[in-house]
Structure 1
Amino acid sequence: MIDFALLGCAAFLAGLVDAVVGGGGLIQLPVLFSMFPREVPATLLGTSKLAGIFGTGAAAVNYARKVRVAWSAAAPAAVSALLLSFAGAYTVTKVPADFVRTLLPVVLVAVAVYTFRKKDFGSVHAPLHSGSTERWVAVGIGAAIGFYDGFFGPGTGSFLLFLYVRFFGFDFLSASAAAKVVNVACNLSALMWFGYSGHVLWQLGLLMAACQVAGSLVGTKLAIKHGSAFVRKLFLVVVSLLIVKTSYDAIVKW
């Protein structure tokens, strides 16, 4: 029971953080792996995806009720992410992800430095595109992130948030709302594969899903209440933690 309580707390915190800036896997996955050291990694990843799709879905619905979601930029990206994540998952079975593992900390440092130096980055909602241009940019971002999520994965939500601010001119709050829609598509694609291949602990995943939903509701309320400035600060914290974790993973692998 203590183990389940710890997993529930981890899922709650993961849902809270993921609802605001992404990166909930930083909290949830290490706890899963420490609790079930003899379990197949794919099964733990599938269980995490099951919990994650409920938490992210709840966040997307909650944002849609309170914040205007830019569906014209979110929906095309979600469709292309859904399709390309399958391609990424297939590719990782053929090509080692070592290069991405090594490069990722460098990319994350660049993202953190860019966000930190531009003090007004994501503070004003001033969309840069419309019409077909907006759709094609969204398709490109969704395809790239979807493939990355299927191929490797860490920091997917945070990358989405950054890209919506950088390439669409959204503020952090609006970007977070749009990113959740794309995140749901990525999680759905992965869950379909893990479920089909039998790599999901359904009862545990549903228990963690309930906790993730509770955390995501708290996270979206905090984001909506405190606005883009709060989201920006938490984004920098999560990206910094991702830099530490991915750097450590790359060094250990090397």
Structure 2
Amino acid sequence: MEIDSLLAISLVLVAFLAGAIDAIAGGGGLLTVPALMAAGLSPAQALATNKLQASFGSFSAVFFFWRRGLLQLPALWPLVAITFLGSVLGTLLVQRIDPGFLAWLLPVLLIAMAVYFTFSPRMSDQDVAPRLTGYGFAFGVALPLGFYDGFFGPGVGSFYALGFIALAGMGLRKATAHTKLLNFSSNVASLIFFALGGQVVWTIGLLMALGQFAGGRVGAKLVFSKGAALVKPLLVTLSLVLSGKLIWDLWS
């Protein structure tokens, strides 16, 4: 697929902004998927290509958080593997059935999360005692959310963050780091099976990956330096914006 220089620059800039937003609170797909469709990709190609470029942004954020000591990777491989498995199952299923029914449920869940993020006294950078650990968290949270990300996807960053904060007892900064790790795992799993289905437009995806990688690093730096003061309002805002978009799409 050929693209002119103006479109190429526009897609890279959109990817940069989306990468920064994703690293902080999730929701970058609100920008990139419509941009990909506006560039002439089909819905299936847009979703598949979005997974390609988003993988670079989430990897950039994960690498930054790991270098800053917020991720202990050897202990997290089981969680990553289970998330990967969930995403594979979701990606395989979405190519066989219509996920449209989720559009009715998601706005309600996202608004409820925005309320929780706004009023919960636990929304800080301080860790507390976890309610769910080990394989309980892996199979109760990581597996279904990995499946959801492969199957549908919108708002998954907020769902991951909610799980790490409400159930794993993490502070916002640490929860965001772990969210990006699982997000990277589910992105890669979904990308592999979209690619096997021939849906990925590699030229556009790799071009946008440049912006995503840079944006992911900028967003991760902001999370590390600002913490809850930045993450909390953006989580609330993105949850409400995404729910509003979904409701608008339903009415339209």
Structure 1 length-normalised TM: 0.91
The equivalences for 1:52-201 within 5 A come to 52-71=54-73, 74-128=76-130, 133-201=133-201
Q: 1:72 to 1:136 in 2, by over 3 A?
A: farther
Aligned twin of 1:9: 13
**How much does 1:214 deviate?**
0.6
Does structure 2 conserve the Cα–Cα contact (< 8 Å) formed by 1:73 and 1:135? no
**Cα shift readout 1:6-60 (whole Å, capped 9, x = no counterpart):** 1111000010011111111011111111121xx3221121111111101101110
Q: Please tell me the residue identity of whatever aligns with 1:216.
A: G
SS at match of 1:200: coil
* Partners of 1:111 and 1:239 in 2: CA distance: 7
Choose which of 23, 47, 51 in structure 2 pairs with 1:45: 47
Cα distance between partner residues in 2 of 1:182 and 1:170: 15
Q: Deviations over 1:99-126 (max 9, x none)?
A: 3110110011111111112244244212
Partners of 1:92 and 1:11 lie apart in 2 by 24
Residue of structure 2 equivalent to 1:34? 38
The amino acid of 1:54's aligned partner reads F
* Structure 2 residue 25 is matched with structure 1 residue 21: yes
Question: Is the alpha carbon distance of 1:41 and 1:95 closer, same or farther for their aligned partners in structure 2, counting shifts above 3 Å?
Answer: closer
Task: Give the length in aligned residue pairs.
Answer: 248
Question: 2: distance between equivalents of 1:128 and 1:72?
Answer: 20
Letter aligned with residue 9 of structure 1: L
Percent of pairs with identical residues: 35
Task: State the TM-score, normalizing by the size of structure 2.
Answer: 0.92
State how far apart, in whole Å, the 2-side matches of 1:164 and 1:64 are: 17
In 2: Cα distance, 1:31 partner to 1:250 partner: 20
Check whether the contact 1:122–1:165 (CA below 8 A) recurs between aligned residues: no
Shift of 1:158: 1.7
Q: Which amino acid aligns with 1:191?
A: L
2: CA distance, partners of 1:85 / 1:138? 13
Contact 2:124 2:228 in 1 (8 A): yes
Gaps of 5+ in 2: none
CA distance in 1, matches of 2:162, 2:147: 17
Q: CA shift at 1:141, angstroms? A: 1.0
Q: CA RMSD in A?
A: 1.8
Query: Which ranges in structure 1 are unaligned for 5 or more consecutive residues?
Result: none
- Assess, with a 3 A threshold, how the Cα gap between structure 1 residues 139 and 28 changes in structure 2: closer, same or farther: same
Task: For residue 68 of structure 1, report the CA deviation from its aligned partner.
Answer: 2.1
Which residue identity lines up with residue 14 of structure 1 in the other structure?
A
Mapped partners of 2:168, 2:240: distance in 1? 23
CA–CA distance in structure 2, aligned partners of residues 51 and 98 of structure 1 = 24
Q: 1:122 to 1:167 in 2, by over 3 A?
A: farther
Q: Partners of 1:221 and 1:233 in 2: how far apart?
A: 17
Contact 2:150–2:187 (CA under 8 A) maintained in structure 1: no
CA contact (8 A) 1:67 1:174 kept: no
- CA displacement at 1:233 relative to structure 2: 1.4
Deviations 1:216-240 (A, max 9, x none): 1111111111112211111111111
Q: How many angstroms apart in 2 are the aligned matches of 1:144 and 1:122?
A: 25
Structure-2 change in CA distance of 1:235 and 1:70 (3 Å)? farther
Find the residue that maps to 2:227 and give its secondary structure: helix
